[in-house]
Amino acid sequence: MKPEEIHQKWQESNVFTAPEYPETAQKRYVLDMFPYPSAQGLHVGHPEGYTATDIFARYLRMKGKSVLHPMGWDAFGLPAENYAIKTGVHPDTSTHDNINNFRRQIQSLGFSYDWSREVDTSSPEYYRWTQWMFLQMYKHGLAYRKKAKVNWCNTCQTVLANEQVEDGLCERSKDPVVQKDLEQWFFKITDYADQLLNDLDTIDWPERIKLMQRNWIGKKEGVTVAHTVADMDITLNTFSAYAAWLFADTFIVIAPEHPAVAELVKGTEYEKEVMEFVSQMKNRSTAERGDADKEKLGVFTGRYAIDPLNPESRMPIWLANFALMDFGTGVIRCSAHDVRDYEFAQKYQIATREVVSRTETSMPVNAHENSGVLTDSGPFTGCSINAALISEMIDWMVAQGIAERTTTYRLRDWLISRQRYWGAPIPVVYDPEGNIHAVKEEYLPLLLPTDVDYRPKGTSPLGSSESYKALAEKLYGKGWHFEIDTMDTFVCSSWYYLRYCDPNNTKEFASQESLKVWLPVDMYVGGAEHAVLHLLYARFFHKALQDFGLIPKSVGREPFKALRNQGMILGPDHQKMSKSRGNVINPDEVVNQYGADTLRMYEMFMGPFDEVKPWDTASIKGIKKFLDRVSAIVREAVAAGKEKHQLESRGIHALIQGVQRDIEAFRFNTAISKMMIYLNDADFVKDGMYDMHALKKFVAVLSVFAPFTCEELWFEMGESGLVAQAAWPEFDPALAEKAEVTMAVQINGKTRATFVIAKDASQDDAQTQALTLSETKKWTEGKQIKKVIVVPNKIVNVIVA
RNA sequence: GCCGACGUGGUGAAAUUGGUAUACACGCCAGCCUUAGGAGCUGGUGGGGCAACCCUUGAGAGUUCGAGUCUCUCCGUCGGCACCA
């Protein structure tokens, strides 16, 4: 049978179609992160995750679960647009060519997707609801427009979210990101910072990903201290996360962008120098600003702040390049107990003092070590620094009216507008006075116009569309115009898992019943690179939509109950695969040479699912050989036509138990090795007689890994149905256990011999048998046995003097 | 700098609660089959040693009858964050 024929049988029998209304207890939603359909086609990394979820989904189906296992396309995005700029081919055309290629490749691998639920984020049927989601955010005050310093990539000619900036570089183009003051649209994800942080404790995700999200949210508790500027009506608030050293602070630095700077120096002799410094710091790239090794730069404002902890003391106020406006308050109390502050003070000869007595250390500065005894710290002089003391100090400062307990977060609001063409248009219209109005829901989808010049020019391409202008005036009146920015593609992917529940609904993004039935996603699989992008945004969407009453409360606060990350597959040279290195493996070629089953199994056999592992072209043969041997043995058994009618062999029960356990734990590599061992041991054949029952069970188990081969063998073994529809074979735990075990004899902890004994034999029996072995005698002869330790079924350790 | 993960043969890697280290596969070696094989099959394969034996999970120490697994120190690789107050 050709793979296409098998594929057709699956299609015809609707095996993979998810039921409309499954029993809640029986439903399982198994989801892959949907791909961006790139022109390069499928990468070997895609089938790694897809095979894992396919094995999982097929296994659950055979176990009698109602499985939703869909696939779709994250189809908006820059590459198609850049390709259009280069070639003139419309993004819609190239995207759909790519989708067709991806679908063909994915189908050739035999994944059990329910294709009736396919979604495409670039289709008006889909982005209509993306726009609708935007309107919900807007209505509930979670979408807003504001002028702000934003990340701008000159190559991509668009703004970027904080999450899309890596080391000050654009994650796409790898070019430096610059700061620009622009009016942009934001989603208020910061409203959900605490929930996004706390609810991490409720989900089964890799700890590594949870940690990355925790760090990204960056919740920090500390105190805010207000300072009056001497002889002025200005108050400067500082944030401090390390309250123990507040008494050490002797000066204050302020971010160049701080709104109070101009007023501080207005009309003074310092004004010129300070304002020059401000303009120098402006328009520096994030990378430049953020380089920790860079020299600290500052300028004195000529002003002093009154230290509320020490009202006689005057703290000089400086501007410093390392003070960041978007962290804390933009103003820092500085002391000698911070490496950075100390370096700055040294450079500019600012007086410092130490308030921690240390013994045996020459290091004068260390801000993060909560130890030592305080000196010169008001009522706390002489106290040892520890968590309780810090808390006490804060209480005291709060009582004195010096400080307030405050919390800051690293997380910023999500910048979602983009000055690009190939995305969902933001459904907002401006009246002639420039006031913002939400586009009426009945006008959705607000179609992406086609009469657009999408060559980059720093403004949004939609601005060049005559039809878009005309449409706004037609719908709203003269002088009205639509927002010309489009949405970040991460908005589209933040809710696609909801659409799969009810993908063809034209009245709602999904019916409440369908959401109630399928949510949450039980198993979500994809790469770790989305840790603080998609995976954070989707969680925010879920919570916000649920708060709007659009997602049933019964499904819980989290969209993805369990998450597993696939490890990256490196090239055969142990390097990251890339065109320039020429080490890219094309899955199509592997399928042509060895077949889809071999590719699937090889990728699962390479190593632990979540670890980085190199491709080894030679090793694939091992899998191919294994599958060929399975086929040969089954055919041999069928041809022999003899069935052994006796007690079932033990091996198959142990195998089913082991593989089942491994699949549930995502340990596919060891599951496959167990199947290989089973085949090598061949306990299903004896004296030319075959245990066909065992062989059938074996094929059923293997079918979730190698569906094409097993579908064919299933048929050849005389089964009329599809193995995809067969039940997962049951195992008998009693039969799975061996009657005998091999125990090791250790002399002083070194293994010297082994012996076979009945399972669960008594300790006395095991000891007696161990001591009578000639090997044991040889090592104990002439020595005194001091002690014998027996670990049932494992070891007898004889301690001799 | 801070946080986290990892380190086992020539290679990818196995190893329930601490209990026979190197399963399974690749590669390599030998043999069989073959006109031939980049096919298939069988056997061998951690290192040292003629052998008895000895050594071996990045290095070193510790706990234990027993450590790849637990604790500490160090080294290395990878990932995240980073003038974050």
A240 touches strand B (CB under 7 A): yes
Q: Which pTM value belongs to this model?
A: 0.93
Lowest mean pLDDT among A207-211, A368-372, A386-390, A665-669: A368-372
Across the range A79-87, mean pLDDT stands at: 89
SS3 A669: helix
Tokens of A668: 């596919």
Collect all residues with Cβ–Cβ distance below 8 Å to A538 and sequence separation of at least 6.
A493, A494, A495, A497, A559, A560
A565 touches strand B (CB under 7 A): no
Query: Whole-angstrom Cα distance, residue A163 to residue A250?
Result: 36
Whether A274 contacts A299, CB under 8 Å: yes
pLDDT at A177 over 90: no
Query: Whole-angstrom Cα distance, residue A759 to residue A794?
Result: 10
Tokens of A679: 């085949």
Distance of CA A443 to the CA centre of its chain: 35
Across the range A96-106, mean pLDDT stands at: 97
Across the range A439-443, mean pLDDT stands at: 97
pLDDT recorded at residue A662 = 96
Distance of A344 CA from B22 C1′ (whole Å): 56
pLDDT at A361 over 50: no
Lowest mean pLDDT among A2-11, A55-64, A421-430: A2-11
Distance of A750 CA from B56 C1′ (whole Å): 14
Query: Whole-angstrom Cα distance, residue A454 to residue A84?
Result: 8
A154 touches strand B (CB under 7 A): no
Query: What's the one-letter identity of residue A203?
Result: I
Which residue gives the smallest C-alpha to C1' distance to B80? Answer: A212
pLDDT recorded at residue A144 = 96
pLDDT recorded at residue A363 = 45
β-partners of residue A747 are A750, A798
In Å, how far are A78, A91, A338, A448, A463 from A468, measured between CA atoms? Answer: 21, 18, 56, 8, 8
pLDDT digits (tens, 9 = 90+) for A697-732: 999 999 999 999 999 999 999 999 999 999 999 998
Shortest-distance nucleotide from A408 CA to C1': B84
Distance of A595 CA from B38 C1′ (whole Å): 19
Shortest-distance nucleotide from A238 CA to C1': B85
Shortest-distance nucleotide from A795 CA to C1': B19
H-helix or E-strand containing A774?
helix A774-780
A606 touches strand B (CB under 7 A): yes
Provide the 10 A C-beta neighbour count for residue A65.
19
Query: Whole-angstrom Cα distance, residue A489 to residue A786?
Result: 72
Collect all residues with Cβ–Cβ distance below 8 Å to A628 and sequence separation of at least 6.
none
A787 touches strand B (CB under 7 A): yes
How large a percentage of chain A has pLDDT more than 90?
A: 67
SS3 A317: strand
pLDDT at A109 over 90: yes
Cis peptide before A520 (omega within 30 of 0): yes
A287 touches strand B (CB under 7 A): no
pLDDT digits (tens, 9 = 90+) for A764-781: 889 998 888 888 888 888
Query: Whole-angstrom Cα distance, residue A478 to residue A489?
Result: 31
Tokens of A613: 């592992």
pLDDT at A564 over 70: yes
pLDDT recorded at residue A777 = 86
A256 touches strand B (CB under 7 A): no
**Which pLDDT band holds residue A241 (cuts at 50, 70, 90)?**
confident
Residues 359-378 of A with CB within 7 A of strand B: 368
Residue appearing with tokens 């702040």: A305
pLDDT at A125 over 60: yes
In Å, how far are A677, A741, A780, A788, A795 from A754, measured between CA atoms? Answer: 22, 10, 15, 16, 9
Shortest-distance nucleotide from A293 CA to C1': B83
Q: Which of A409, A408, A415 is nearest to A537 (CA)?
A: A415
pLDDT at A239 over 60: yes
pLDDT recorded at residue A290 = 56
Shortest-distance nucleotide from A623 CA to C1': B25
Distance of A611 CA from B13 C1′ (whole Å): 11
Shortest-distance nucleotide from A745 CA to C1': B20
Shortest-distance nucleotide from A789 CA to C1': B65
Distance of A754 CA from B56 C1′ (whole Å): 21
Whether A95 contacts A80, CB under 8 Å: yes
Residues 747-766 of A with CB within 7 A of strand B: 748-751, 754
Distance of A279 CA from B17 C1′ (whole Å): 64
Query: Whole-angstrom Cα distance, residue A398 to residue A110?
Result: 65
pLDDT at A365 over 90: no
Q: Which of A142, A175, A145, A144 is nearest to A158 (CA)?
A: A175
A728 touches strand B (CB under 7 A): no
A53 touches strand B (CB under 7 A): no
A219 touches strand B (CB under 7 A): no
Q: Which of A385, A403, A386 is nearest to A394 (CA)?
A: A403
Shortest-distance nucleotide from A320 CA to C1': B83
Q: Could you tell me the strand order of the sheet in which A785-791 lies?
A: A750-758, A740-747, A795-800, A785-791
pLDDT recorded at residue A454 = 83
Shortest-distance nucleotide from A799 CA to C1': B65
Shortest-distance nucleotide from A750 CA to C1': B66
Whether A150 contacts A134, CB under 8 Å: no
pLDDT recorded at residue A728 = 97
A530 touches strand B (CB under 7 A): no
Across the range A611-624, mean pLDDT stands at: 92
Residue appearing with tokens 């008006």: A124
pLDDT at A362 over 50: no
Whether A456 contacts A85, CB under 8 Å: yes
Where do the H-state alpha helices sit in A480-619?
Answer: 489-492, 496-499, 512-518, 534-547, 587-594, 596-605
pLDDT recorded at residue A570 = 92
- What secondary structure does DSSP assign to A186-212, as a single string? EE-GGGGHHHHHHGGGGSB--HHHHHH
Distance of A211 CA from B3 C1′ (whole Å): 9
Distance of A523 CA from B12 C1′ (whole Å): 27
Shortest-distance nucleotide from A614 CA to C1': B12
pLDDT at A288 over 80: no
Across the range A432-453, mean pLDDT stands at: 95
pLDDT digits (tens, 9 = 90+) for A148-163: 878 888 888 888 888 7
pLDDT recorded at residue A360 = 39
β-pairing, A251-254 vs A314-320, is: parallel
Query: Whole-angstrom Cα distance, residue A738 to residue A741?
Result: 7
pLDDT at A291 over 70: no
Across the range A577-587, mean pLDDT stands at: 88
pLDDT recorded at residue A289 = 60
DSSP state of A363: -
Residues 296-355 of A with CB within 7 A of strand B: 296-297, 321-325, 327-330, 332-334, 338, 340
β-partners of residue A437 are A429
Cis peptide before A729 (omega within 30 of 0): no
Provide the 10 A C-beta neighbour count for residue A152.
21
Residue appearing with tokens 């125990």: A743
Across the range A571-582, mean pLDDT stands at: 87
Length of chain A: 801
pLDDT recorded at residue A364 = 46
Distance of A634 CA from B36 C1′ (whole Å): 30
DSSP state of A571: P
Residues 403-432 of A with CB within 7 A of strand B: 410
Provide the 10 A C-beta neighbour count for residue A241.
14
- What secondary structure does DSSP assign to A39-103, as a single string? TT---THHHHHHHHHHHHHHHHHHTT-EEE---EE---SHHHHHHHHHH---HHHHHHHHHHHHH
Q: Which of A443, A416, A513, A437 is nearest to A142 (CA)?
A: A416
Shortest-distance nucleotide from A796 CA to C1': B19
**What are phi and psi for residue A770, nearest 5 degrees?**
-65, -40
Torsion of CA A265, A270, A271, A274, to 10 degrees: -100
Distance of A637 CA from B34 C1′ (whole Å): 27
Which residue gives the smallest C-alpha to C1' distance to B4? Answer: A208
**Which pLDDT band holds residue A370 (cuts at 50, 70, 90)?**
low
pLDDT at A417 over 70: yes
Collect all residues with Cβ–Cβ distance below 8 Å to A144 and sequence separation of at least 6.
A138, A185, A186, A188
Distance of A567 CA from B6 C1′ (whole Å): 13
Across the range A19-47, mean pLDDT stands at: 94
Nucleotides of B under 7 A from a protein CB: 2-5, 11-15, 17, 19-21, 23-27, 39-41, 53-54, 65-67, 78-85
pLDDT recorded at residue A653 = 92
β-partners of residue A27 are A66
**Cα Rg, chain A, nearest whole Å:** 34
pLDDT recorded at residue A488 = 94
Which residue gives the smallest C-alpha to C1' distance to B64? Answer: A749
Mean pLDDT score of chain A: 91
SS3 A300: strand
pLDDT digits (tens, 9 = 90+) for A630-688: 999 999 889 887 766 565 678 899 999 999 999 999 999 999 999 999 999 888 888 77
A17 touches strand B (CB under 7 A): no
Residues 613-632 of A with CB within 7 A of strand B: 613-614, 616, 618-619, 621-623, 625-626, 629
Distance of A443 CA from B81 C1′ (whole Å): 44
Residues 675-694 of A with CB within 7 A of strand B: 676-677, 680
Residue appearing with tokens 């850049």: A82
A1 touches strand B (CB under 7 A): no
Region of A359 on the Ramachandran plot (φ > 0 left; ψ -120 to 50 alpha; else beta): beta
A164 touches strand B (CB under 7 A): no
**What are phi and psi for residue A776, nearest 5 degrees?**
-65, -45
Which residue gives the smallest C-alpha to C1' distance to B84? Answer: A327
Distance of A607 CA from B8 C1′ (whole Å): 14
Distance of A1 CA from B35 C1′ (whole Å): 34
H-helix or E-strand containing A772?
helix A763-772
pLDDT recorded at residue A750 = 87
In Å, how far are A271, A319, A336, A562 from A247, measured between CA atoms? Answer: 30, 21, 11, 47
pLDDT recorded at residue A389 = 87
Which residue gives the smallest C-alpha to C1' distance to B21? Answer: A751
Torsion A594-A597-A603-A605 (CA) sign: negative
Distance of A212 CA from B81 C1′ (whole Å): 8
A568 touches strand B (CB under 7 A): no
